[in-house]
Amino acid sequence: TRYGEVENVEFNSDGALGITVYHQNRKGSASSTDLSPQAIARTVQAALDIARYTSPDPCAGVADKELLAFDAPDLDLFHPADVSPDEAIELAARAEQAALQADKRITNTEGGSFNSHYGVKVFGNSHGMLQGYCSTRHSLSSCVIAEENGDMERDYAYTIGRAMSDLQTPEWVGADCARRTLSRLSPRKLSTMKAPVIFANEVATGLFGHLVGAIAGGSVYRKSTFLLDSLGKQILPDWLTIEEHPHLLKGLASTPFDSEGVRTERRDIIKDGILTQWLLTSYSARKLGLKSTGH
């Protein structure tokens, strides 16, 4: 919605299948969004044809059987929303209205939005693993523009969760959106100084994304990371520990297994500033003589 008027209502339903085959250490992959039996047969044949022409690689192959999630845990990820289109429109409009009414300096809006997503993921391989799970994700957001002394700023706020009951109210979203937008007005330059820096939680993914890329197995075996010889060494302050918790119930990033079917586990990535793990796929693990970590 924008200014309370409906601008767009969408419903999408789609599916996709991906297949990877290994033949004499040669890998072939193909995918299709057509899930008819004939299309699936063509996709399998395409993967086989590709495998015939790729170079053999002794590290290629299905994930090790003992690492697979044959008994994938239920992580409570599926919570369908009983929300009609009219109710979804009302939620978006309330979030937008709350932002517009928060302060007279809020002069324009890019609207409010409600989204609800249902997904099903199924994985199987030739080791006999066949596991799957359903998941949902619901979100509500608003974006407005504030103006003061000729300065215009834009910002947004959102709430997201696996279940509708996990979401903040539309009024909270609107108020937070207004607060964020207004805080951007009248910026000032700082003189050169030494000072602590507080990062907003929204930048966490990007901030730690650089670290994740540097300790990913692909970067390590290619020797393209600045942390190449840092395993077991202190790379961050001793007060910082980074843990992975892939089995948090209703977690937005929780998953019982990775894209190869390898079971995910709780693990320390950084412990007291010390790098304790590379993040490894089956392929990168074999290149390094290690075991996959489910990444």
pLDDT digits (tens, 9 = 90+) for 94-125: 999 999 999 999 999 999 999 999 999 999 99
For the chain, what percent of residues have pLDDT higher than 70? 100
What's the sign of the alpha-carbon dihedral 44, 50, 53, 55? Answer: negative
250 torsion bin: left (phi>0), alpha (psi -120 to 50), beta (else): left
| Residue 191 pLDDT | 94
Q: Is the pLDDT of residue 146 over 80?
A: yes
* Mean pLDDT within 128-155: 96
Rg of the chain in Å (alpha carbons): 24
Strands (E), the chain: 17-23, 26-32, 106-124, 130-148, 151-161, 242-244, 267-271, 274-275
54-103 residue pLDDT tens: 999 999 999 999 999 999 999 999 999 989 999 999 999 999 999 999 99
| Residue 92 pLDDT | 96
| Residue 49 pLDDT | 96
Calculate the CA dihedral of residues 99, 100, 102, 106 and round it to 10 degrees. Answer: 110
Q: Is the pLDDT of residue 1 over 80?
A: no
Taking the C-alpha atoms of residue 261 and residue 255, their distance in angstroms, rounded to an integer, is 10
238-255 residue pLDDT tens: 999 999 999 999 999 999
149 torsion bin: left (phi>0), alpha (psi -120 to 50), beta (else): left
179 token code pair: 């607060």
26 token code pair: 């040669």
Taking the C-alpha atoms of residue 255 and residue 100, their distance in angstroms, rounded to an integer, is 38
The pLDDT-based confidence of 8 (bands split at 50, 70, 90) is confident
Q: Is the pLDDT of residue 207 over 90?
A: no
Give me the domains of the chain, ranges plus CATH numbers: 1-61 (no CATH), 85-183 (3.30.2290.10), 201-288 (no CATH)
